[in-house]
Amino acid sequence: MTFSVPMNKRFGILLLLSLIPWLIQARTGRYRAMWRTDPATSMVIGWEAFGGRQSRVIFQSVGQPADQWKVHYPDKKVASKDMKNYFARLEGLSADTRYRFVIRDSEGDSPMMYFHTAPDDPSTPITFIAGGDSRNNRSARKRLNLLAGQMQPLAILFSGDMTDMCTAREWQQWLDDWQLTITSDRRLIPIIAARGNHETSNSILEDLFDIPSPDAWYALSFGGDLLRVYTLNSLAPIHGRQTRWLTDDLQQHGEAFTWRIAQYHYPIRPHTRRKKERLDQLEAWAGLFHQHKVQLAQESDSHVAKITWPIRPGKGPESYEGFVRDDQEGTVYIGEGSWGAPLRPADDDKPWTRASGSFHQFNWLCFHSDRLEVRVIQADQSAGATALPTLSYGRIPDGVASWLIDGQEELILPGPADEMAAIIQDAERFPLIDLDGRSSLQIPYRLGSTSEIRIEFTNTLRQVVKSIRLHREAGNYLEGIDIRDLPRGRYVLIVYADNKPIMRRLVQQ
């Protein structure tokens, strides 16, 4: 027996079927990503549950078979700002890997999204956007959020003052606007959040961003030994536990990294007369930055743009407001927070100020093993930007406007020269290997255990010219490397086993 369905009813059935995916979506939203532990092997996914039951993350690395999904239920649930905030702390992930995921509950699934773990290889560029003070100007905030997503950084350093009055409604709007940072390929960009004076307590950051410390000061490492990022709390006592923690971490961990940077809210020396000086931070932190070679400090609060020459604490006729310009060993201070907040005049330049202005902006940072690239991105002039399709790795989208610093769109800070000098000195203890006329090089080494091998040819500017990766079992090796594509010059040949150098030689092509 057959049945005939009238045309109008058939249309209604087709319409209903087309709506089913929307009708069964999970009742979740206000998505965000963060880190609590190693950014290369972990990710925290946060969301708000509007209803439904048994909300959880279903995820897998891109490229895995469709039936190999993992399930992770929330590790933390907290009611804050009239929202039910859920956080799933994913661990044991692979470095520099893209993972797709949905939030599933009894009502269905969220839209498919992605996250990308951090690289653990110091030769892979790390890109950040850094800024703060979004406050209550939603139109400017939205423009900058959208632009941040278009630029596809690995993460966003946000140094406080997300909202104005810290009300529930403002926070809900802020998280709604934050969804504009989701990239064109649906990737959640992690936020590394610091507390500002408009966050009424540390617990705000705990409840909304699951930060790794109730004190709102913490450190994260990126790219193996490439970069360590210190997030400090300008609203907590500066002297005492916080500075002791910073001192201990810099001594124990910081100097093992090529780059050390800090972010915090209050600028030590504001570049607007409407903000007061922070002598406690000058006394407690600036000296530590110089002593332990912190190369960059991201500040906020003033609602202006600024970048300094490298400076260090000092007294005497050459100093100004407690700082002396030191191009060799100084710290560069950038900021000062204008991610949508009401702008103030940049009317308090110093002799060591390199540039200052008053416009909505954030900073773009790209860390390489041999240099740091810094750009100040102008929001209003970047309306025509074309979104990058995937993670930046140092690329800049077309249409992004960079503020000119000394006539240049990009400021380049060179990497530590003394480290490369020490490597060259160590390599020179052995006879120089002359590659002239040779098409290959035999490299002997011994492994006591199974290891991931990386063979690099690095020039004297610490730029990696040639890199090879291998997986090897324990044993003795005579590795044959094709060097026909190696440009003429002098290089340091370094063999790494599990990111630890096991051989250094000076070679010349």
What is the chain's pLDDT, residue by residue, as a tens digit (509 residues)? 333 445 445 444 444 443 344 445 678 999 999 999 999 999 999 999 998 899 999 999 998 887 889 999 999 999 999 999 999 999 999 999 999 999 999 999 999 999 999 999 999 999 999 999 999 889 999 999 999 999 999 999 999 999 999 999 999 999 999 999 999 999 999 999 999 999 999 999 999 999 999 999 999 999 999 999 999 999 999 999 999 999 999 999 988 899 999 999 999 999 999 999 999 999 999 999 999 999 999 999 999 999 999 999 999 899 999 999 998 889 999 999 999 999 999 999 999 999 999 999 999 999 998 889 999 999 999 999 999 999 999 999 999 999 998 888 998 888 875 555 556 666 666 678 888 888 888 888 888 889 889 998 887 666 778 889 999 998 888 889 998 888 888 888 888 888 778 888 888 88
Task: Choose among 325, 291, 320: nearest CA to 308.
Answer: 325
Dist. CA 311–CA 318, nearest whole Å:
11
Mapped onto helix, strand or coil, the DSSP state of residue 10 is: helix
For the stretch 431-443, what's the b/e string if a residue is b when 16 or more beta carbons lie within 10 angstroms of its beta carbon? eebebeeeeebeb
For residue 465, what pLDDT is reported?
A: 84
For residue 359, what pLDDT is reported?
A: 97
For residue 209, what pLDDT is reported?
A: 98
Q: In 179-273, which ranges are continuous DSSP H helix?
A: 202-209, 241-252
Q: 235-246 pLDDT, tens per residue? A: 999 999 999 999
The C-alpha R_g of the chain, in whole angstroms, comes to 25
As given in the structure block, the two tokens for residue 15 are 């319409």
For residue 15, what pLDDT is reported?
A: 40
Dist. CA 107–CA 102, nearest whole Å:
13
DSSP character for 122? T
Beta strand 155-158 with 126-131 is parallel
DSSP character for 119? P
User: Which residues in 237-383 belong to E strands, given as ranges?
Assistant: 259-263, 296-298, 305-308, 311-313, 323-325, 332-335, 353-357, 361-367, 371-378
Q: 113-151 pLDDT, tens per residue? A: 999 999 999 999 999 999 999 998 899 999 999 999 999
Beta strand 296-298 with 259-263 is parallel
Dist. CA 445–CA 214, nearest whole Å:
46
Dist. CA 149–CA 406, nearest whole Å:
28
N residues, the chain: 509
Domains of the chain, CATH where assigned: 25-116 (2.60.40.10), 126-415 (3.60.21.10), 419-508 (2.60.40.2550)
Dist. CA 296–CA 415, nearest whole Å:
12
CB-based contact 34:46 (threshold 8 Å): yes
Measured from the Cβ of residue 82, the count of other Cβ atoms closer than 10 Å reads 11
Work out the angle between the directed axes of helices 138-151 and 168-178 (0-180°, nearest 10): 30
Q: 293-350 pLDDT, tens per residue? A: 999 999 999 999 999 999 999 998 999 999 999 988 899 999 999 999 999 999 999 9
Dist. CA 101–CA 376, nearest whole Å:
33
As given in the structure block, the two tokens for residue 247 are 């001192």
Q: 390-412 pLDDT, tens per residue? A: 999 999 999 999 999 888 899 88
Task: Choose among 138, 206, 132: nearest CA to 175.
Answer: 138
